């Protein structure tokens, strides 16, 4: 029996982009797919578009119910997912048409826990901006020092990994995906494939554009400081700063200040001169 792949898309008022997203899943070269769309009671034409495709493709399952956050919608999708492999795709992003076939072939060759691929970052006009190649994804220190290395659209999980790790933390508003990846690292392997899997739309409306400071503080609330200390080893705090200066995902000065204060407060770090 062929492997079932479950894809989850949370959406809300996404009429401008949802059709492109849906078609990128339904038109995959690999066909054994369960596609779950969790709509948060959209007030535009999103639901109308979804129902059109649900009527012609039995692999698409649409659920429309008010939720409190994207994290809650993701968890609802995870509870409905029946696949051997599971992934999530945002309502304004889309897959390469052979992405799922590639993942399944890799899994058949060597079963995966969590697999990350390349991402093409695009503008809202679908103009290609740059290519993200998180080749260091299997190295835990890279996640601590560089932040979230990839968007959700280029990450695929085994059902066993999700069962072991559990659901996304619904108390987190901005960085639930990053915290989830750090949890995976504790007991599972994150692998990398050098192939473009998805296209990720960059816009000024995204959380990462509007809530930098809030994201920094949220990350600091769940960082494993003892593990961070082991990663840093004998490095001086000055060396840590030089590493963190490579991070483009954060406002560096404030991040360093917050981290410094948190580490000292928790007595999990000492400054060596």
What domains can be seen in the chain, in order of their start residue?
A: 5-210 (3.90.550.10), 223-265 (no CATH)
The whole-number pLDDT of residue 112 equals 95
The whole-number pLDDT of residue 256 equals 47
pLDDT tens string 67-80: 888 899 999 999 99
Residue 92 CB neighbour total at 10 angstroms: 23
Q: How far apart are the first and last CA of the chain?
A: 61
Q: Checking DSSP bridges between strand 114-122 and strand 128-132, what pairing results, if any?
A: antiparallel
Q: If you search the block for the tokens 């990053």, which residue do you land on?
A: 178
This prediction's pTM:
0.81
pLDDT at 214 over 90: no
């Amino acid at each position: 029996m062929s492997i079932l792949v479950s894809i989850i898309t949370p959406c809300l008022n996404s009429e401008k982009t949802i059709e492109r997203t849906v078609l990128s899943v339904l038109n995959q070269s690999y066909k054994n797919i369960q596609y779950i769309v969790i709509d948060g009671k959209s007030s535009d034409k999103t639901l109308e578009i979804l129902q059109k495709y649900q009527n012609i493709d039995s692999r698409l399952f649409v659920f429309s119910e008010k939720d409190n956050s994207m994290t809650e919608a993701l968890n609802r999708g995870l509870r409905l997912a029946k696949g051997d492999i599971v992934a999530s795709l945002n309502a304004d992003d889309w897959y390469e048409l052979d992405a799922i076939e590639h993942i399944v072939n890799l899994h058949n060759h060597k079963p995966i826990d969590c697999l990350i691929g390349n991402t093409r970052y695009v503008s809202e006009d679908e103009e290609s901006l740059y290519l993200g190649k998180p080749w260091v994804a299997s190295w835990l220190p890279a996640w601590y020092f560089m932040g979230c290395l990839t968007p959700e659209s280029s990450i695929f999980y085994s059902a066993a990994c999700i069962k072991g790790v559990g659901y996304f933390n619904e108390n987190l508003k901005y960085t639930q995906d990053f915290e989830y990846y750090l949890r995976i690292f504790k007991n599972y392997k994150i692998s990398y494939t050098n192939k473009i899997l998805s296209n990720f739309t960059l816009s000024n409306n995204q959380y990462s554009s509007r809530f930098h400071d809030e994201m920094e503080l949220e990350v600091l609330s769940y960082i494993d400081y003892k593990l961070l200390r082991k990663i840093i080893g004998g490095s001086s705090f000055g060396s840590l700063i030089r590493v963190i200066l490579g991070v483009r995902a954060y406002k560096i000065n404030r991040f360093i200040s917050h981290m410094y204060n948190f580490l000292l407060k928790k007595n999990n770090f000492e400054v060596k001169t």
